[in-house]
Chain A
């Protein structure tokens, strides 16, 4: 499969009064056509800013893409002017935001918000657009679609609003949908509905999907490939199955061990918490950014910044001591 999206050494920095905040600091990855990629990380690790940079939606000032390329079907999005970018947004790349409560305009009907993109990008007439909008709403599982087009966002529940957002994202048959924490604001049973829906639709329509989340469970089921981010960098990438079975970065390992699991039958064991706090992106430590919290860190980790390198085919990790992790973790379990 050809790469649909290629992100090359992307750096987005924020220039604030307190200095430069390196929110995204040299990330590279690609997304193939029809692929589902999960990006996992804690808040403030740069996963949202990375996605916003692809759409060129980072507020400037203070933010700026200082380096790197974003190639979408061979075209560099970073160098496009606003007019060209408008052709891409919502049309060829669409986005689903985290907050279904605030990302819809409260004073416009759902119908108006859906038809706006259609009229703009697909040159549809008002009637055509309305028919298509009704079709989209029923596709995402909203009953009485035709009547509900005249409702306002407050008349919809959280899960329904997120369905509307997905309908909106799908409206122009985009090649790629970026979903930024699509289910974080929703309850578990609704979360399952929405994720199932997104997966079905992306399979049916062949749309590539980037799911950004902090929930390791969400990506386990739905992503083909997973990227783990920490402090503005990608620290591990692998296929979902491989990543969960065989994590190759101490951060991923620690993250997997620190969450209580529903399927563990052991009694009340202590959680393996990660000490300390994520680093301040405006004032990063030298060397590996995870080293201060890492239980396997050696002196050399504090001096040099490890690059992402291939450990096994398709499995990359940014850790100097990957080879020793297995050995070291078995030791730490014993003690």
Chain B
């Protein structure tokens, strides 16, 4: 049994507390009007009351459509946005209360891989400088030789050649650039990495290479991932547990197989049925739930359950209040009053 699997077992037995604990996280962006005297006219509720935990060595997948707040959630964890409300506990310490310099120290433990391999690398820095910058910032190497060795080691770890360290980002392909981004995240030996759509911008045949790399690194270094993506097939492949987001809320959390075999929330069902499977014979018999309409604007989310405007099973009861996330069967959490076993909505 590998190290990663070991730690998962340990947490399941309740020996270890979760690595990351997010409680009632809210991120509202103010919408202002006026040029000189700006006044707030509304809030964009990008993330609204989100709670979840991630265990050590685990991969939590976060899926949802564009604009549902999954990237904002990831950024709030790293304090790249200052959350409006809520707690983010990493190893028991609330990172929202840390000072900037303490937070910089904390970022040695928490890193991020961005979606866009074109926009997230400085075009004027060489690949070696990009990967080595975190080493300099955190003063992790003592001599120039040690620095060079560490950069080479990092490049080799992610499957790039050492001689590439003098090249500039534009000389690399998309997949290779994503590898540079991964090497940069690994430079500080983090224990937790937010992977924000790391393969969405890549071609199909390259996606598999990067996914395999991420899995190998997790095994090797015992990493914990928050894997954000909109592609459900990819998320299913890489995650241990999956959280589904809709309009700033988490509507369902379950183990990977449980979620796919037994989706409970009507949104999750529709989302799963909309993903095409590369097999015409299976596709022909598949039931498809086509949702009507578009996602409402997060500036004026609907009253009650945020999904009720598009929900195939919603009725008047759903317009009262957003249901809380409840554990319906062990490990399977859902926020829908229409789900069997949810119980009294309490409003």
Contacts and interface: CB of A to CB of B under 8 A. Distances in A.
A145 B207 CA distance: 41
B224 to A, nearest CB: 15
Interface string B245-280: 000000000000100110000000011111111111
A214 B204 contact: yes
A262 B233 contact: yes
A277 B175 contact: yes
Interface string B197-235: 000000111111101100100000000000000101110
B303 interface: no
B288 A192 contact: yes
A42 B204 contact: yes
A278 B283 CA distance: 29
A42 B230 CA distance: 19
B66 interface: yes
A190 interface: yes
Contacts of B91: none
Given A258-B208, A273-B205, A273-B208, A188 B232 contact: yes
Nearest to A260: B237
Contacts of A215: 276
Given A188-B65, A196-B290, A216 B208 contact: no
Contact of B278 (A190, A193, A261): A261
A193 B291 contact: yes
Please indicate which of the listed interface residues A188, A190, A241, A272 has the most CB atoms of chain B within 10 Å of its own CB. Answer: A188
Contacts of A274: 205, 208-209
Nearest to B240: A268
B84 to A, nearest CB: 26
Contacts of B281: 241, 244-245
Interface residues of A, number: 43
B15 interface: no
Interface in A176-216: 187-193, 196, 214-216
A271 to B, nearest CB: 4
Contacts of A157: 294
Given A196-B290, A274-B205, A274-B208, A262 B274 contact: no
Nearest to B173: A277
A187 B66 contact: yes
B236 interface: yes
B326 to A, nearest CB: 24
A216 B278 contact: yes
Interface string A129-152: 000000000000000000000000
Contacts of B270: 189
Given A157-B294, A192-B274, A262-B236, A187 B230 contact: yes
Contact of B275 (A262, A265, A270): A262
B242 to A, nearest CB: 12
Interface stretch (A164-172, A217-225, A313-321): A217-225
Contact of A193 (B273, B290, B295): B290
Nearest to B295: A187
A187 B280 contact: no
A297 interface: no
Contacts of B260: 262
Contacts of A270: 212, 215
B305 to A, nearest CB: 17
B282 interface: yes
B108 to A, nearest CB: 28
Contact of A259 (B204, B272, B295): B204
A260 B290 contact: no
A260 to B, nearest CB: 3
B12 to A, nearest CB: 16
Interface string A212-253: 001111101100000000000000000011001100000000
A220 B290 contact: no
Nearest to B67: A187
A160 B294 contact: yes
A88 interface: no
A42 B203 contact: yes
A165 to B, nearest CB: 16
Q: Which 10 A-B pairs have the closest CB atoms?
A: A217-B276, A260-B237, A273-B208, A192-B274, A187-B65, A258-B208, A216-B278, A271-B208, A274-B205, A221-B283
11 contacts: A188-B274, A190-B65, A193-B290, A220-B277, A245-B281, A256-B278, A258-B204, A271-B237, A273-B211, A277-B173, A278-B203
Given A215-B276, A258-B205, A278-B203, 5 more contacts: A159-B294, A221-B280, A258-B207, A260-B236, A273-B205
